[in-house]
Amino acid sequence: MALISASLLNPNPNLSFKHHDISTTSNFLQSQLFSNVQSTIKIRSRNSRRLVMGMNPVGATHSFDVVVVGAGIIGLTIARQFLLHSPLSVAVVDAAVPCSGATGAGQGYLWMTHKKPGTGVFDLALRSQKLWQFLADSLQDQCIDPSKALGWMKTGSLVIGTTEAELTQLNKQVQQLCAAGLRAEYLSIDDLALCEPELGVGRESGAAFLPDDCQLDAHRTVAFIEKGNRLFASQARYAEFYHDPAVCLLRSNGKGVVEGIKTKNNTLYGQKAIIIAAGCWTGSLMHELLRESDTKVNIPVQPRKIIKCIWERAQKFFPALKEISIESLNEKMNVRVGLRPYMPDGKPVIGPIPGMPNLFLAAGHEGGGLSMALGTAEMVVDMVLGNPLQVDPKHFAVEGRCC
């Protein structure tokens, strides 16, 4: 089966954008700005003895409520969720800059077509899709065009089957999606030809169609979220530490609580939580951060890098693409290439590390980082704050999967 957008082409915009200004009086994402909260960000000395994992802290020392390691879509939306739904201060740390990893190569599909109802991934993706739709609607209410701010498009999505077995499975999938409350329909070959006339498939083909599936532009969305986060910098509630890789954890010598992160240039204390959202680098990063710890965590997040085979497969469904080589495509368009961090069981890992209740992981979303970002951010923040959870977290737990 093949998964495609009902609108084939995904335009890749220039990395420089002009965005609508967002004033601090607007309700960015329909949430309160905590302008009256006193800052907790300050440089402070610490006299109590600490176990420093790996090396001694040098450089500037800062204290925040939350430190997020990773400035991809997961890390930035987690920071945003804290800023909008709590009075906490947040620092975002990254070895590079936003869109340097999987997020920058993402096509931004918010698709439910290939998700299986009744699974944790389905529930998280559906929750995220609702939050993205709410964001797009709230921008529209503020006279901000979501297609310009986020690259928002309601494209719909298709899953195409070309064998009898695949068509049987697609019919079953459509029934399950409809039972789960989604708009879904099965398209015969004639209906499919009307929907996508350039498709080169045989008469035995068909498709599952979800008209409400959407698409974002990763770069526009990240720029919008980052700009919204920076509104809180004037309140001393937000800071970014880019090109400053995390190198070790800071732990108290008594209770073993993780108190902060030592980066290449700074020492950052997180009074409430430390969150690792470093994509496919999460596993190797955690190995280094916990190198001298008794806690052993194996996070098998691995990268996938696929270029040629995707293009060759697309040509099977759209014969006209055979006239275009990857080389010529790269000359005419800005082709995105990046890693897709995934867990072997296909589910992201989200939650606290056993024995380290203030150290959280949020990684391994594979090709669904953008589609599951807002739901993941909501889940992490609710975990930290002790709020009721909207999605059952047991499917994504660290314990039993990584340790």
Please check whether residue 13 lies inside any domain of the structure.
no
Give the Cα separation of 97 and 109 in Å (integer). Answer: 22
CB 261: neighbour CB atoms within 10 A?
Answer: 29
Please check whether residue 324 lies inside any domain of the structure.
yes
Q: What is the pLDDT of residue 385?
A: 98
Give Cα 236 distance to the centre of its chain.
25
Please check whether residue 108 lies inside any domain of the structure.
yes
Q: Assess whether 318 and 250 both reside in one domain.
A: no
Number of domains in the chain: 3
pTM as predicted: 0.77
Please check whether residue 9 lies inside any domain of the structure.
no
Q: Assess whether 318 and 195 both reside in one domain.
A: no
Burial of 162-194, coded b for 16+ CB within 10 Å and e otherwise, reads beeebbeebeebbebbeebebebebbebeebee
Please check whether residue 22 lies inside any domain of the structure.
no
Q: Where are the beta strands (DSSP E) in 103-218?
A: 109-110, 157-161, 185-187, 206-210, 214-215
Q: Assess whether 235 and 300 both reside in one domain.
A: yes
Q: Which two tokens stand for residue 175?
A: 């029934």
Q: Assess whether 203 and 190 both reside in one domain.
A: yes
Please check whether residue 388 lies inside any domain of the structure.
yes
* H-type alpha helices, 188-245: 189-195, 218-230
Please check whether residue 3 lies inside any domain of the structure.
no
Q: Assess whether 129 and 235 both reside in one domain.
A: yes
Which amino acid is it at 166? Answer: E
Q: Assess whether 62 and 207 both reside in one domain.
A: no
pLDDT per residue as tens, the chain (403 positions): 655 543 333 322 222 223 333 333 333 333 333 333 333 333 333 333 233 333 333 469 999 999 999 999 999 999 999 999 999 999 999 998 887 776 666 778 899 988 999 999 999 999 999 999 999 999 999 999 999 999 999 999 999 999 999 999 999 999 999 999 999 999 999 999 998 888 888 888 999 999 999 999 999 999 999 999 999 999 999 999 999 999 888 877 656 688 999 999 999 999 999 999 986 656 656 565 555 555 444 444 444 445 566 667 677 776 777 777 766 665 655 555 555 555 566 688 899 988 888 999 998 877 678 999 999 999 999 999 999 999 999 999 876 555 5
Q: What is the pLDDT of residue 360?
A: 95
Q: Assess whether 326 and 177 both reside in one domain.
A: no
Please check whether residue 355 lies inside any domain of the structure.
yes
Give Cα 333 distance to the centre of its chain.
25
Q: What is the pLDDT of residue 302?
A: 47
Q: Assess whether 344 and 201 both reside in one domain.
A: no
Q: Could you tell me the residue range of the domain that residue 181 belongs to?
A: 157-211
Q: Assess whether 68 and 127 both reside in one domain.
A: yes
Q: Assess whether 330 and 351 both reside in one domain.
A: no
Q: What is the pLDDT of residue 38?
A: 32
